[in-house]
Chains A and B, each alone.
Chain A
């Protein structure tokens, strides 16, 4: 009984964490290059809508994902055009994307599908199915921990495993490649990058392009794996929670992963704790657990537990000196 409970809590932790992880990675990529992304929420919402719309029309998973990527990268390029090329305020741009996305998706959704902003339920051909179910069945045979392990780690869809691989990929890109070194340098000391003869603007655009791809995966996940259709404002603050997670993870991909899993765990647990009396504590209000990630991030940022230090040039447009 407890095995099943532990297994299913871990499984739902993983599943709700995936969009957070992908989104936080997107944020890590562009913030390490010195560009603040407050538009994570809006980018995720728009790409989710793009994936759901194209998925509904074509019934093709590949096309749905491609549409999400195109929209995500386009939004990131807009981000770059306004903030990298023209030195616009990055925070304001993020707000703009998020606010526009919330309205535009509903307007287009009503016009195209006439269901109050929702898309119809996506056909099965667009939805991701579970992987490693056979292996899971084998693992479940193992005594004691088998059943919990099988439930927790097997039978998820491709994107769950993909997002974990993406963490490794982003880490490797940032810390083990020349491109990653330059990208991080663009976020810490852009003048030095410039002096070395490397274009800060190009680096930031590249970081933003990767950011767009990651965001679009997070958005697509919401409609091809988590929900059967697009719902207005379905991101429901996940973009901001991913932002909190990347700060909590100190702008490091692996740190962000742990933060996302922690926040995802709280989310998974908060639903199960509803109306449950904990020994010695009593009933924990759901709202308390929901607010906890944000409270923790504030406390961390204020330096009361550890210290999260942002990339030095974060939020500052780079102006080449003459």
Chain B
């Protein structure tokens, strides 16, 4: 039944995601109506909350930073032909890595050494948590989807074990570590702009946002401008052909998962080093899963992912603002929308394609008929 549908590239890249996103928004709008709110008012407040002020914009960018990391993580694995739904666990491990580095050396190292070390530690911990499921798939045949889900739970249990035990701050009732030394805190954008003499409201937005931009550029260069990236995409596209061409799918799959895990691990830098300044449970809060939605809407391309991250960042921030403004509105509306995006842009992405193809054929034939005269009759 489902024949691959031929679509012009611009429709495939721009129109199809837009249609899918519109369908998700439509269903979400119906739910908004159903629970008794005015969709127009909700959208207006949402946009105002997300972009209407310096603080709102900063929050949007702060959320977007996290989504760029998890979205890129899903995309890199995806190009290698593996589906990484372990972003959640890899981000937890990344935070743990950054946190352990900060707790161990924060008192002795200056910020100039401490911060890069935390970034490396976060990437390394996430990398290991991604590479192991990748290697298990490559050499032992256990499917990454299942293994990464299991690794999410294992990571959460590990963090919670450490936070009620070895890393718990004595005398503190909540399960969290002691606060990091000042050198182990990623400067906020308000501080950075303050150095330049610009006043900016104090928000969680921190210099990790630059790291996110760098990550997006590096992923683009890595995937499309290097031999390894080419091999990775080849393996994802046609594993047998890649093997025949002398590439090593096993190592490439493991590598894709390692890179993916490292990217997800950087969430720990934004959240732990940038915002909380201490290790605490639940700092990932579903960002790993949000990465799937971001990657699907962004069509697994770094540019698309940055744009999709901004969209979701705006939804998160706007949603928080809405929950504050409208009585009875909950941010869970945004989580629902996220699920709907995964539904329409992911699982049902090709449902709209045949209809679009038919429309396109109708439009393009009419145009050729109009241009080429009535020659074909």
Contacts and interface: CB of A to CB of B under 8 A. Distances in A.
Interface of A: 36, 38, 42, 82-83, 85-93, 95-104, 106-108, 110-111, 114, 117, 232, 237, 240, 243-244, 247, 285, 287-288, 290-291, 294-295, 297-298, 301-304, 310, 317, 319-320
A87 B350 CA distance: 8
Contacts of B36: 111
B348 A298 contact: no
B154 A294 contact: yes
Nearest to A298: B150
A110 B343 contact: no
B347 A303 contact: no
Contacts of B351: 82, 86, 88
A101 B348 CA distance: 17
Interface in B143-160: 143, 145-147, 149-151, 153-154, 157-158, 160
A92 B347 contact: yes
A92 B302 CA distance: 20
Contact of A295 (B136, B154, B332): B154
Contacts of B336: 99-100, 102-104, 107
B289 A89 contact: no
Contact of A301 (B142, B334, B338, B343): B142
Contact of A287 (B83, B140, B158, B348): B158
Contacts of A106: 330, 332, 335
B340 A302 contact: no
B69 to A, nearest CB: 18
B332 A303 contact: no
Contacts of B347: 82-83, 88-90, 92-93, 96
B339 A97 contact: yes
A301 B348 contact: no
Contacts of A244: 146, 150
A102 B334 CA distance: 11
Given A38-B149, A83-B347, A95-B346, 17 more contacts: A87-B2, A88-B346, A88-B348, A88-B349, A91-B83, A92-B83, A95-B292, A96-B342, A96-B343, A99-B342, A101-B339, A107-B35, A117-B332, A247-B146, A294-B151, A302-B142, A302-B147
A89 B82 CA distance: 13
Most B CB contacts (10 A, CB to CB) among A36, A83, A86, A117 go to A86
B311 interface: no
Interface in B318-377: 328, 330, 332-340, 342-343, 346-351
B108 interface: no
Contacts of B142: 298, 301-303
Contacts of B145: 36, 38, 91
Given A99-B335, A102-B332, A240 B149 contact: yes
Interface string B73-89: 00000000001010000
Contact of A96 (B35, B149, B346): B346
B31 interface: yes
A301 B158 contact: no
26 contacts: A38-B149, A42-B339, A83-B347, A85-B1, A87-B350, A88-B347, A88-B348, A95-B342, A96-B340, A96-B347, A100-B343, A106-B330, A106-B332, A107-B35, A107-B333, A107-B336, A108-B34, A111-B34, A244-B150, A285-B161, A287-B160, A290-B157, A301-B140, A301-B147, A303-B142, A319-B2
B264 interface: no
Given A86-B350, A86-B351, A92-B292, A240 B2 contact: no
A247 B292 CA distance: 24
A83 B339 CA distance: 16
Contacts of A98: 339
B102 interface: no
Given A82-B348, A96-B347, A287-B157, A117 B330 contact: yes
B328 A111 contact: yes
Given A88-B347, A110-B330, A298-B147, A95 B289 contact: yes
B59 to A, nearest CB: 20
Most A CB contacts (10 A, CB to CB) among B143, B151, B153, B334 go to B153
Contacts of B340: 96, 100
A38 B289 CA distance: 13
Nearest to B161: A287
B169 to A, nearest CB: 18
B346 A89 contact: yes
Contacts of A117: 330, 332
Contacts of B201: none
A304 B140 CA distance: 9
B150 A93 contact: no
B165 interface: yes
A99 B289 contact: yes
A187 B346 CA distance: 23
